[in-house]
Amino acid sequence: MQAVTAFDAIAFDLDGTLVDSAPDISNALNTALREAGLRSFDLQTVRAWIGDGPDVLIGHALAAQGHEHASAELRSQLRAAFDAVTLAAPLDHGAVFEGIEPVLMQLTRVMPLVVVTNKPTRLARAVLAAARLLPHVCSVHGADTAEQRKPSPLLLQAAAERLGLRTNQMLMVGDGPADVRAARAAGCGAAVVDWGYAHAAVDSSDAPLWRVRTPQHLLGSVLLDTATKRH
């Protein structure tokens, strides 16, 4: 990871960054598909679709079985079933990535933390609560409309405004291209975690990008930067 520039808050992506929720997302999607009489998919396939929220996820699953032009009624039915399964069992199959919780506990002592995710807010809060991470974040900003989904900068802008900060005072930590593009659109710093689902797809050739090997790697850089600013 490159030397961290000054920032005063961190925005974390959720799925693939804080939690390995792919098994739960796969379970919710496949349950919804089976209830509708449609084909389900293996975990590896579903994991590759994660990152743009449940509506896009459902769209991938429909397209993969020749239903690109499925009705709005079917899509709504699938989304309702997906949400119900997620709320009933937010993190029964997945887990918090190793090292995340103690790092968040230490980071909250030096700066506010928020979650900025393409998962809708209600579902995101349920997952964070099940993961016992909700007490460590000040706010949760989920994509409740298509316009808010990363790479749009809207959620990062809302998070910064709520904290009383400029966006360039925030660092966005995520695991995929949408996180990086959202950060750049908002004027935030960008970091990509190496343990995420889509980190290999991120192109870092055209702008500075921090690569985070482990949660402790991120923590060490933040604490070093904080100590430097104090002197």
pLDDT in tens, 95-140: 999 999 999 999 999 999 999 999 999 999 999 999 999 999 999 9
DSSP 118: S
Q: 81 and 99 share a domain? A: no
Q: What is the mean pLDDT of residues 219-226?
A: 78
Instruction: Give the pLDDT confidence score for residue 4 in this predicted structure.
Output: 46
Q: 27 and 15 share a domain? A: no
Instruction: Give the pLDDT confidence score for residue 206 in this predicted structure.
Output: 56
Query: For the whole model, what pTM was predicted?
Result: 0.93
Instruction: Give the pLDDT confidence score for residue 1 in this predicted structure.
Output: 41
Q: 16 and 26 share a domain? A: no
Q: Could you tell me if residue 82 is inside a domain?
A: yes
Q: What is the mean pLDDT of residues 43-67?
A: 97
Q: 40 and 100 share a domain? A: no
Q: Give the total number of structural domains in the chain.
A: 2
Bond preceding residue 90 cis, omega within 30 of 0: no
Q: 84 and 193 share a domain? A: no
**Taking 90 as the threshold, does the pLDDT of residue 55 lie above it?**
yes
Q: What is the CATH number of the domain that holds 135?
A: 3.40.50.1000
Q: 126 and 203 share a domain? A: yes
Domain span including residue 156: 9-20+95-230
Q: 157 and 203 share a domain? A: yes
Q: Could you tell me if residue 34 is inside a domain?
A: yes
d(CA 168, CA 157): 10
b/e per residue, 124-140, with b = 16+ CB within 10 A?
bbbbbebbebeebbeeb
Q: 73 and 52 share a domain? A: yes
Q: 164 and 75 share a domain? A: no
Q: 166 and 61 share a domain? A: no
Helix, strand, coil percentages (3-state) for the chain, rounded to 5, are 50, 15, 35
Q: 192 and 99 share a domain? A: yes
Q: 40 and 154 share a domain? A: no
Active site residues: 13
